[in-house]
A and B are shown apart, each in its own frame.
Chain A
Amino acid sequence: MKTLKLFIAILALSVGIANAQFTKAELQVSGLTCSMCSKATEKSLRTLDFISDIKVDLNKNIFVLTFKKDVPVNIDLISKKVQNSGFFVNNLKLTFNFNGVKLADNYFNYAGDTYKVINATHPLTGDVAVTVVDKGFSPPNVYKKYPATDSKPGKVYHLVI
């Protein structure tokens, strides 16, 4: 019985960990209009190993990214690829599965990175859409509204629901 309990506990924990993942994102790129520019950006994003699919709205310059289930997502690389294409991230709205993730003072860890959900007032479960409000992911009028005041050492990504 003890073994079974332990097994269930481990299973629950591993399911929890497996669930805690960025599943998709809506990426709006600023500074472009023509389809040649969009194509260059999409080709650059497709080199990221954690992206499984990209659908693009060429009129709104929105790229809908689908992430692979088991590969950790690195959002810095998304911003880097867009900038390398000659443009900027105007908005990055990520869907994160919070199952098995506990916010501690609004912070949580994912794939070695620290994230802070600035305006979370209650525990989060299931799929939640969060927008990154840091420099490199949003225009100046947005990231200046959220100056970093973190108690955690190292780099922290800031999200709003």
Chain B
Amino acid sequence: MKKLYWVLSLMVWWCPAFAQELYVNTEPASNMATHSVGIRVENQGYFNPTYKDRSTLEVMYGASKNWMIHGSLYESNYYEADHHFEGGSVYAKYRFLSIDSVQKHFRGAFFVKASSINNPLPNQEISLEGDNSGAQGGVVFTQLLHKLALSASTSYLQAFNNRGGFDLPQENSRDAVAYTFSAGYLLLPKSYENYNQVNLNLYVELLGKDNPGYGQSYLDIAPAVQLIFNSVCRLDFSYRTPIYNDMIRSSKNTYLVRLEYNIFNVF
């Protein structure tokens, strides 16, 4: 807890130096442009005790000015010796609040997610990103202040039995509470001249989960670097590591590499 206080204080102190809300480990309250499609190819993994990795294909679509949807497919060797297809998830976000002015906004959004996964269940963490079948619902608020963007979210997760006969063990928590806090900063360019300039964004995100009544919780810190090319293509790098950890999970000490390409006005 002392550690958390220390990290939060440090982040608050650093805040004026952070910004941008194209977060790497979380979603902001803002949506994509209507009728735009984003395609993400992602790889994440860990090196200890042995190297294991997961790849994700994610497609995002701006359905209207207030609604956006994501669909993801997962494959990994986290739970078996070989890589195999694990299942998928769908995510929807509804922006219900927008208070905008020039180079500033405050937005709020509700989101829901559901996943169907065929992995065994050795972990205590409920994670809908390839590990658990389940459902999630939450709320996120994002504040953009020119080059600084801050975002916070909280959500509730419910785990179901996984497909393939992998029932959730009796001793496992069936639900969890997740919370995140993210800060991003547009470092480069200092001043825009055209769309082709490479953007460099820096992020620090806090990712926490708690299994209520089980004494199982964790809080990770996840610094990230992001490059944006031609204002359409995004390259993300991140590494998450625990500030404290009392939960058996695969997401401890994991790297993330992601390529995203955006196509505007598709249909």
- Mark A residues whose CB is within 8 Å of B: 28, 30-36, 38-41, 43-44, 47, 58-59, 61, 83-88, 90, 139
Contacts and interface: CB of A to CB of B under 8 A. Distances in A.
A44 B195 contact: no
Contacts of B54: none
B251 to A, nearest CB: 28
A39 B32 CA distance: 12
Nearest to B148: A33
A85 B100 CA distance: 13
Contacts of B98: 31, 88
Contacts of A87: 100
Nearest to B189: A35
Given A30-B102, A40-B264, A84 B199 contact: no
Nearest to A59: B192
Given A36-B199, A139-B101, A43 B264 contact: yes
Interface of B: 19-20, 22, 30-36, 62, 64-65, 95, 98, 100-105, 144, 146-147, 186, 191-195, 197, 199, 228, 231-232, 234, 262, 264-265
A108 B150 CA distance: 46
Contacts of A43: 33, 264-265
Given A33-B144, A39-B264, A90-B100, 19 more contacts: A30-B104, A31-B98, A31-B101, A33-B19, A33-B103, A33-B147, A34-B22, A35-B197, A36-B231, A36-B232, A36-B234, A39-B195, A40-B262, A58-B195, A59-B191, A83-B65, A84-B33, A86-B32, A88-B100
A155 B223 CA distance: 51
B227 to A, nearest CB: 12
Nearest to B230: A39
Given A33-B186, A38-B195, A86 B65 contact: yes
A59 B62 CA distance: 25
Contact of B35 (A83, A84, A88): A84
8 contacts: A30-B101, A30-B104, A30-B105, A36-B22, A61-B102, A84-B33, A90-B100, A90-B102
Contact of A84 (B30, B65, B262): B65
A58 B60 CA distance: 25
Contact of B33 (A35, A86, A139): A86
A32 B34 CA distance: 15
Q: Which 8 A-B pairs have the closest CB atoms?
A: A58-B192, A31-B100, A84-B34, A43-B264, A40-B33, A39-B231, A31-B105, A85-B33
Nearest to A43: B264
Contacts of B195: 35, 38-39, 58
A35 B65 CA distance: 19
A12 to B, nearest CB: 42
B31 to A, nearest CB: 5
A79 to B, nearest CB: 11
B228 A36 contact: yes
Nearest to A36: B231
A16 B178 CA distance: 65
B103 A35 contact: no
Contact of B103 (A32, A36, A84): A32
Contacts of A30: 100-105
Given A31-B144, A34-B186, A40-B264, A90 B33 contact: no
B104 A86 contact: no
Nearest to A57: B192
